[in-house]
């Protein structure tokens, strides 16, 4: 069964479970190859999941996105950096303020959620994009940090790739070992059934990525999703016996009956 959500109703719950699994594995010290059946193991190596590997992956995602979406369709990009931070509460607060300032987000707002101190900040680098930071203390000497870079139209947000890469670099400088996950979404150029549309999209992507092999899938009346192993992509997560490097999904929008295509490297982490 494919990873990600199962349509509009179940998407948020599955995404929550996925994030919780990633958090548990990171804190337990798991790395790629040490997973025992979870779909949320770490990347192939620090190099493949760090800032240096991001530009090439985003360029691939943008190129594929333009090929499989309708002409003029805005390409929504959501990139998430996430990782653990080790340090006492005083150091954590200092790093929260520093990272928020370096990201151009101003001062973070603090609150308490489920007995843990949390900090949030957000800002807009341009008219089309948004950056947000979420920092949550997990215990006396540990925190978990998520920085999300999002644009509603990738082709108009010309500096978004540099902004996304810098966010990861700043997290590394703050003592966080972040891993990225990128999702791209737009109106599919093929408006047949989700299954037929996904088949056409697969053919287009396979023309760019040799050796792409479908290893998991999910489908219902309005959604079809598949996950793939791709030998040429070094960023992946483990799911059972499979190394998943790419996920695609097509969802039939009930409002206008159009197909929405979503592509994730290595997984989709937003609603279909």
**Displacement of CA 40 from its chain's centroid (Å):** 12
- pLDDT (mean) for 59-83: 95
Q: Quick one: which of 240, 244, 209, 204 has its CA closest to 227?
A: 244
Q: Is residue 27 very low, low, confident or very high in pLDDT (cuts 50, 70, 90)?
A: very low
What pLDDT is recorded for position 232? 87
Identify the residue whose tokens are 């999300």.
Answer: 148
Q: Quick one: which of 61, 101, 97, 23 has its CA closest to 245?
A: 61
Q: Quick one: which of 149, 142, 143, 141 has its CA closest to 168?
A: 149
pLDDT digits (tens, 9 = 90+) for 180-231: 999 999 999 998 899 999 999 999 999 999 999 999 999 999 999 999 999 9
Domain boundaries, the chain: 11-265
What pLDDT is recorded for position 17? 35
- Residue 56's alpha-carbon distances to 33, 50, 202, 212, in angstroms, are 24, 12, 20, 18
Answer whether CATH 3.30.470.30 is correct for domain 11-265.
no
Helix, strand, coil % (nearest 5) of the chain? 30, 35, 35
């Amino acid at each position: 069964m494919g990873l990600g959500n199962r349509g509009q109703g179940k998407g948020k719950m599955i995404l929550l479970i996925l994030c919780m699994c990633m958090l548990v594995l990171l804190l337990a010290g798991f790395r790629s190859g040490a997973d025992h059946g979870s779909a949320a193991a770490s990347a192939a190596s620090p190099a493949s999941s760090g800032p240096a590997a991001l530009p090439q992956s985003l360029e691939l995602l943008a190129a594929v996105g333009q090929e499989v979406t309708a002409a003029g369709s805005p390409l929504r990009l959501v990139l998430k950096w996430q990782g653990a931070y080790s340090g006492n509460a005083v150091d954590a607060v200092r790093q929260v303020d520093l990272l928020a300032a370096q990201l151009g987000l101003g001062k973070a707002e603090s609150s308490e959620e489920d007995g843990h101190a949390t900090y949030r900040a957000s800002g807009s680098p341009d008219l089309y994009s948004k950056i947000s930071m979420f920092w949550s203390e997990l215990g006396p000497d540990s925190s978990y940090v998520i920085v999300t870079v999002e644009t509603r139209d990738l082709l108009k947000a010309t500096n978004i790739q540099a902004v996304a890469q810098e966010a990861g670099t700043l997290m590394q400088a703050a003592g966080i070992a972040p891993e990225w996950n990128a999702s791209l979404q737009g109106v599919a150029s093929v408006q047949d059934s989700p299954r037929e549309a996904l088949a056409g999209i697969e053919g287009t992507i396979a023309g760019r990525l040799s050796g792409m092999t479908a290893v998991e899938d999910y489908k219902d009346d309005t959604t079809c999703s598949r996950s793939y192993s791709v030998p040429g992509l070094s960023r992946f997560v483990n799911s059972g016996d499979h190394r998943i490097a790419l996920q695609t999904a097509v969802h039939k929008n009930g409002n206008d009956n159009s197909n929405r295509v979503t592509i994730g490297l290595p997984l989709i982490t937003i609603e279909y």
